[in-house]
């Protein structure tokens, strides 16, 4: 089984666990978040970074390369490079809207923004708002989420902080010692079935962002200073 499939099974298992075993957990309001989780809401001084990006579809590998991003004066600029360093996409977002250029621009032209600020790709709703993208690219959580209603679910070996922002929910799982295991954003489709998810796996040696978009899976691994 490929690592991508294993990750899907892993994240899907825990989501099923939350739904199926909710009757076995205790639930209580949240007065204060633990320090280990609050660190994910700390925003770096520099709003920029680089990382490895991989896009896979049901038909196989679509793209593998590197990406850069920077935000200045409320303008987010991104750039993708193929494995030999050629620029294949330049994108920018400001109050004037979203613009993309390059050989991959035809595919990314399918990205739109709905009235609530959520991203939509080729008709598929994505549970991310455009103004949350910078924080997630830095493997941080948007500070606006701190204002969301939240509850704490306690299980035998883990606890889960659940932030509610319809039509999505944000899960943060912690082990018994209070260490953050992973974070996940889920949203629902027709009939209340879980359709898509975004996962941030929090292993400090291999932190990465994973996004499901229709039949596509996007993985982003942020470079640390010693990786560049």
pLDDT digits (tens, 9 = 90+) for 96-154: 888 888 888 887 777 888 888 888 888 878 888 888 888 888 888 899 999 999 999 98
Is 149 buried (19+), middle (13-18) or exposed (0-12) by CB count in 10 A? exposed
**Which CATH number applies to 3-227?**
2.50.20
The Cα 154–Cα 101 span in angstroms is 47
33-47, 145-159, 212-226 — which one is most confidently predicted on average?
145-159
pTM score, whole prediction: 0.76
Is 127 buried (19+), middle (13-18) or exposed (0-12) by CB count in 10 A? buried
Rounded average pLDDT over 3-25: 50
Predicted pLDDT at 11: 47
The answer to whether 187 and 127 are in contact (CB under 8 A) is: yes
- Where do the domains of the chain lie? 3-227
Compute how many other C-beta atoms are within 10 angstroms of the C-beta atom of residue 14. 18
């Amino acid at each position: 089984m490929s690592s991508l499939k294993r990750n899907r099974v892993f994240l899907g298992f825990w989501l099923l666990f939350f739904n199926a075993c909710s009757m076995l957990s205790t639930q209580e309001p949240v007065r204060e978040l633990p320090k280990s989780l609050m660190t994910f809401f700390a925003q770096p001084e520099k709003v920029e970074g680089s990382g490895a990006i991989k896009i896979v579809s049901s038909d196989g590998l679509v793209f593998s390369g590197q990406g850069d991003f920077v935000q200045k004066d409320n303008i987010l600029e991104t750039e993708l490079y193929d494995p030999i360093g050629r620029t294949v996409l330049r994108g920018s977002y400001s109050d004037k809207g979203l613009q993309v250029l390059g050989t991959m621009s035809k595919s990314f032209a399918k990205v739109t923004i709905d009235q609530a600020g959520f991203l939509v790709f080729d008709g598929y709703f994505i549970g991310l708002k455009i103004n949350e993208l910078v924080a997630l690219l830095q493997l941080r959580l948007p500070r606006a989420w701190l204002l969301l209603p939240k509850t704490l679910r306690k299980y035998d070996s883990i606890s889960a902080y659940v932030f509610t922002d319809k039509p999505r929910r944000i899960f943060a799982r912690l082990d018994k010692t209070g260490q953050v295991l992973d974070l996940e954003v889920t949203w629902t489709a027709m009939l209340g079935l879980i359709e898509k998810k975004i996962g941030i796996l929090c292993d400090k040696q291999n932190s990465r962002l994973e996004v499901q978009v229709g039949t596509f899976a996007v993985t982003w691994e942020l470079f640390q200073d010693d990786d560049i």
